Amino acid sequence: MQPVPNSPDSLTFADVTELAREDMQAVDRLIATSLESDVALVSQVSQYIVTSGGKRLRPLLVLLAARALGYDGEQHIRSAAIIEFIHTATLLHDDVVDSSARRRGRDTANTVFGNQASVLVGDFLYSRAFQMMVDIDSMHVMQILADATNTIAAGEVMQLMNVHDPDTTEDSYRQVIYRKTARLFEAGAQIAAVLAGRDPADEAAMITYGQNLGAAFQLVDDALDYNSSAAELGKNLGDDLAEGKPTLPLIYAMQKGSAEDKELIRNAIVEGGLDHLERITAIIEATGALEYTARRAQEAADMAIAALSEVPDSAHKQALVAIAEFSIQRRS
């Protein structure tokens, strides 16, 4: 294994993944065996989505946090795989709900296999995750994951209610990104503390870390929809606008733009589509909406890093800090 630099500022994402390479390889092996099914379509769709790339940030978080907290067992491997299965199930369902055609630089599973197969295989992954939870033999871990899964499902419904609603507030938007995205990051970090047998204060600190890391990640993701490229992002630019999703850049632009600007954005959210993407992107830039979103993401990342203050210094702690920094610097 390559030595890891001492300063989080000097860590690249490749450095971070190298630190967890052996653990992640174990996660990949467990995922491969857990995807086996005597139903051919289940295996085909599962393999397609799980092997489609992505940063594997959520399982990586579990692995690094467990090691940073002194855990030397093996249940963090199973926990990381469970987190990845839950995340993958939400992606399969999300892409059907949103009628998405591209993810991670290639066709979505629903585009290739159809909506019915995507929904049902998403259900399979959820049920497999719950089977795997039992093997951890911890009621506390099961409670965390059960609560997280329920919260995520509620977040999906909340987002559906906000679609095509131009009166969505920043507070309502933040509730959605907590439930839909940050909650799973939070669960992964919390489970690491539970496995390591840490006290309630350390567990609370990891909850704070995961929650804010997830918020920063989603805030940046929503900003990238208006200032990245399809090649970098791995999905179509302007997808949120096309789907009528009032994300923070749009919410802020409506608050700060002219009456004409506000009306244009309101109509675009109500109607969906990309007819006015260029004009709306210009309004977002002119009103400072991207900068505002970036500041909110930076605040969340700073809170995540601050939550690690009582964790003993180590290469794994430095990697957790680096992930928080990476979440706001990324372009994809």
Report whether 207 contacts 189 (CB < 8 A): yes
Cα separation values, 308 from 65, 69, 82, 193, Å? 10, 10, 24, 12
Nearest alpha carbon to residue 121 among 96, 151, 150, 156 = 96
Q: Is residue 23 part of a domain?
A: yes
Q: What is the CATH number of the domain that holds 275?
A: 1.10.600.10
Question: In the structure encoding, which two tokens stand for residue 268, read together?
Answer: 């675009």
Question: In the structure encoding, which two tokens stand for residue 255, read together?
Answer: 């608050």
Which domain does 90 fall in, by range?
8-329
Residuewise pLDDT in 10s, the chain (332 residues): 334 444 666 789 999 999 999 999 999 999 999 998 889 898 888 888 877 777 899 999 999 999 999 999 999 999 999 999 999 999 999 888 887 887 767 888 898 898 999 999 999 999 999 999 999 999 999 999 999 999 999 999 999 999 999 999 999 999 999 999 999 999 999 999 999 999 999 999 999 999 999 999 999 999 999 986 655 555 567 889 999 999 999 999 999 999 999 999 999 999 998 999 999 999 999 999 999 999 999 999 999 999 999 999 999 999 999 999 999 998 77
Report whether 270 contacts 241 (CB < 8 A): no
Q: For 43-75, write each residue's pLDDT tens digit.
A: 888 888 877 777 899 999 999 999 999 999 999
How many domains is the chain built from?
A: 1
What is the distance, to the nearest Å, from the Cα of residue 228 to the centroid of all Cα atoms in its chain? 18
Could you count the other beta carbons within 10 Å of the beta carbon of residue 54?
Answer: 17
Q: Is residue 3 part of a domain?
A: no
Q: For 133-156, write each residue's pLDDT tens digit.
A: 999 999 999 999 999 999 999 999
Can you spell out the DSSP letters for 11-44? --HHHHHHHTHHHHHHHHHHHHHHT--SSHHHHH
Q: Is residue 2 part of a domain?
A: no
Report whether 293 contacts 248 (CB < 8 A): yes
Question: In the structure encoding, which two tokens stand for residue 233, read together?
Answer: 């992002």
Residue 9 has what pLDDT?
62
Question: In the structure encoding, which two tokens stand for residue 280, read together?
Answer: 């709306």
Could you count the other beta carbons within 10 Å of the beta carbon of residue 139?
Answer: 9
Q: Is residue 301 part of a domain?
A: yes
Residue tagged 């049902």 (tokens): 120
Nearest alpha carbon to residue 227 among 241, 211, 243 = 241
Q: Is residue 217 part of a domain?
A: yes
Please, which contacts does 134-139 make with residues 24 or more away whose CB atoms are closer than 8 Å?
135/78, 136/75, 136/78, 136/79, 138/75, 138/194, 138/195
Report whether 250 contacts 269 (CB < 8 A): yes
Residue tagged 């579990």 (tokens): 62
* pTM (2 d.p.): 0.92
Q: Is residue 211 part of a domain?
A: yes
102: which strand partners?
107
Question: In the structure encoding, which two tokens stand for residue 275, read together?
Answer: 């007819």
Contacts of 181 (CB under 8 A, 6+ apart): 155, 214, 215, 217, 218
Q: Is residue 136 part of a domain?
A: yes
Alpha helix segments (H runs only) across the chain: 13-19, 21-34, 40-50, 57-68, 75-97, 109-113, 115-136, 139-162, 170-177, 183-195, 200-227, 230-233, 239-242, 248-256, 259-271, 277-286, 289-306, 315-329
- The SS3 of residue 102 is strand
